[in-house]
Amino acid sequence: MPEKIVKKLEKGEELGNIMDQLQGVKNTKQKWGAVGFFLKRYSNRQESFEHDVLYASARFLREELYED
């Protein structure tokens, strides 16, 4: 994450508000989110979350590979 955003987060600002200010858009967190902004909307927050859940599921979908 860009340092200027990290500094604002460290001061206690919410990422959603920072992203709204940066883009001049209201409620980006309910639209494409920070992920969508950083990736120029090639992916959005929903798609990113879905992929994260899928990746985390690999251990359960291929349990035989994770046995001790």
pLDDT in tens, 2-49: 999 999 999 999 999 999 999 999 998 888 889 889 999 888 888 888
Q: What is the pLDDT of residue 43?
A: 86
When divided into structural domains, the chain yields a total of 1
Instruction: Give CA–CA dist 44/52, Å, rounded.
Output: 12
Range of the domain at 33: 3-65
Phi, psi angles (nearest 5°) of residue 56: -70, -25
Q: What is the pLDDT of residue 22?
A: 94
pTM of the model: 0.68
Which residues are within 8 A (CB) of 23 and not within 5 positions of it... i.e. 6 or more apart? 37
Q: What is the pLDDT of residue 21?
A: 95
The helix (run of H) or strand (run of E) holding residue 34 is helix 33-38
